[in-house]
Amino acid sequence: MNSRSRFSTFPRLLLITACFLYQPLGHTEKLTAEGPLPEPSIEHNDRFSEELVHLQTNHNVSFIDEIGKMVRQPPYDLVDDFAEGLAVVEIGGKVGFVDETGRMIIQPRYDSALRFSQGLAAVQIGGKWGFLDKTGKMVIPPQYDDADQFSEGLAPVLVGGKWGFIGKTGKIVSSPQYDYANQLSDGLARIQVGGKWGFIGKTGRIVILPQYDFVFKFSEGLAAFKTGNKVGFIDTTGKIVIQPKYDDCGEFHEELAAVETGGKVGFIGKTGKIVIPPQYKLGRDFSQGLAAVKTGQKWGLVDKTGKMVIPPQYDDCSEFREGLAAVESGGKVGFIDKNGKMVIWPQYEVAHNFSEGLAAVQIGGKWSFVDKTGKMVIPAQ
């Protein structure tokens, strides 16, 4: 299949992508079989998705439910996560959709597909993209050169080398005129024109003129923008809230954003006030009140006042999910709680963050699922 997403080998830890990246993000990932990605790129096979997950071994895929019961073992070449009750599967180079029992709901006849979003899924057939509903009915006929998922009622589509936006009936909301376009977030979508970036609103009207060298999507009401070699933040009206003076930055999470200046990372609030002075080698987003930071060669965790709650002692550390964070020590991965107590001793080759009470872990080359006490709930297979 000719599409962007790839199935990757699992990274050692499921980590938030490093904060400091200024490159256009690709559109929502499409199912394909192009092989593994280099770390730290990851796929979202790391958690239970709508109460069903898949295991993949030598391209033979099985579905298991939350109690470890094998639901079905069809001859799928590749599978994607569930979204809105359906998952994309590939058989013999074609993709279709199965439900949570493994039943084929939409037969594999498409060249590529996106996950369902707002009741519709983009699919490619004969080189063109259209949208179908969960019964398999083609609601919007294949006519686009590329397409992205629906978000807040709109989806970006590519026609003749330009991106525009359509509504859920297929009606054009914003005619194809942009060099690049993204999904809506906080009511605004990123667009690129002539090498500059701005935002349009839900009506298709340009709200913030394309004038920046790059922009992040909006998060918690603010979006990072880059002009020259510096980055700052604007609000949803386009007003500059934080002047461009940082070398790089992340998005706002829990009212704070990581920023880099002079080769050091710190955290600022939404007014631009420095809350935690730049002093770390690397930093990750705040999650459940803590953020992982790297000092020297080790990772620790700080609270929102900058207090080092868990001293730097780990070779790597993920964000907290459901009260636990994956940490690497001595080449093995375990889990700590928010007090730094080692709840599950480092013993895994690979571990993913907890989701819905379970975490995927790899030991002895086999994958299984453990609960928050470390008990193997779904045996290795």
For 131-182, the pLDDT digits (tens) are: 999 999 999 999 999 999 999 999 999 999 999 999 999 999 999 999 999 9
Per residue in 109-118, pLDDT (tens digit) is: 999 999 899 9
The mean per-residue pLDDT over the stretch 352-379 comes to 76
Q: Is the sign of the CA dihedral 311, 254, 149, 213 positive or negative?
A: negative
Average pLDDT value over all residues in the chain: 80
State the pLDDT at residue 269: 97
Beta-carbon contacts of residue 297 (< 8 Å; ≥ 6 apart): 315
pTM: 0.66
Q: Is the sign of the CA dihedral 82, 88, 90, 91 positive or negative?
A: positive
Q: For a pLDDT cut of 70, what percent of the chain falls above it?
A: 75
The mean per-residue pLDDT over the stretch 41-48 comes to 28
**Contact assessment for residue 209 and residue 200, using Cβ atoms and an 8 Å cutoff:** no
The mean per-residue pLDDT over the stretch 222-232 comes to 95
Query: Could you tell me which of 109, 115, 70, 65 has the C-alpha nearest to residue 88?
Result: 115
Q: Over the range 87-117, which residues count as b (16 or more CB within 10 Å of their CB) and which as e?
A: bbbbbeebbbbbbbebeeebebebbbbbbbb
Residue 303: φ, ψ to 5°: -95, -175
Q: Is the pLDDT of residue 62 over 60?
A: no
State the pLDDT at residue 181: 94
